[in-house]
Structure formats: C-alpha cells, structure tokens
Amino acid sequence: MARVLIAEDDADLCWIWSETLMDAGHEVRVVHDGDAAAAALETETFDVMICDVIMPFNGAIVLAGLARLFQPRIKVIAVTGSIALRDGAFEDAVESADRTLRKPIDLETLCAAVDAPAQARAA
C-alpha cells in the first residue's frame, strides 16, 4: 500500500481521512500547515500527498512543486473547499497536481484517488 502525507489544517478532516486510509491499509502521516508539510517532504518519503490548496504557511499551489522537487515520483492530490475556487479556476489552481478534489470528499473517492496510478506529467 501507499505511504501518504496528509497536509490539511482541519483537524477533523485529518482524523477522518487518516482513519479511512489506514483502514484501507495505507501508512499515513498528518501535518497541519505548509511548513510542517515542507519539512516532512524533505526528510521522509511518500507515495502520495493529499494537500489543502489554502492553509497556513503555504498550501498545495506551493507545496505541489516542492513535493516534485524532493520526490519526483510522488502523486499530488490537491483538495479545497474554497468558494473562490469553485468554477473553472479550481482545476487550474494546482496545475502540477495529479488530481484535484472538492471538499467535502466522499471517502470512497478519496481512497480511489490514492489508489489510482499517478498521471503522466509532461517533462
């Protein structure tokens, strides 16, 4: 199974997502801000990062690129509940993400996104 980094500032979502993914057999590390996510990406290895687009000390827009720098094979799943990113801007907000999901996220959809192979990215 996958080693997953969840970078999300909502503690309740972190708990629900991490419990769901651990029940599915994944190893999960949770952080609550961009600084902690950056430190984890620099010092640990992950297969997947689930990252909120907007959270303290940088979100997925910055962290997706950083993840690719430290771990080129990582799959990035960007998530947001921001009303400002509701329409066409949402899909384009994190262009280096493999997948974008809107909150609230169905738990089956979350598991499927983690389990799906990463999309090929242009070099």
* DSSP letters for 32-95: SSHHHHHHHHHHS--SEEEEESS-TT--HHHHHHHHHHH-TT-EEEEEE--GGGSSHHHHHHTT
What are the tens digits of pLDDT across the range 38-89? 999 999 999 999 999 989 888 888 999 999 999 999 999 999 886 655 555 5
> What gap in Å lies between CA 101 and CA 87, rounded to an integer?
13
Domains of the chain, start order = 3-105 (3.40.50.2300)
Better-predicted residue by pLDDT, 57 or 17: 17
Q: Is the pTM of this model over 0.95?
A: no
Per-residue pLDDT of 90-114, as tens digits, reads 555 577 788 888 889 999 999 999 9
State whether the Cα torsion 58-77-48-1 is positive or negative: positive
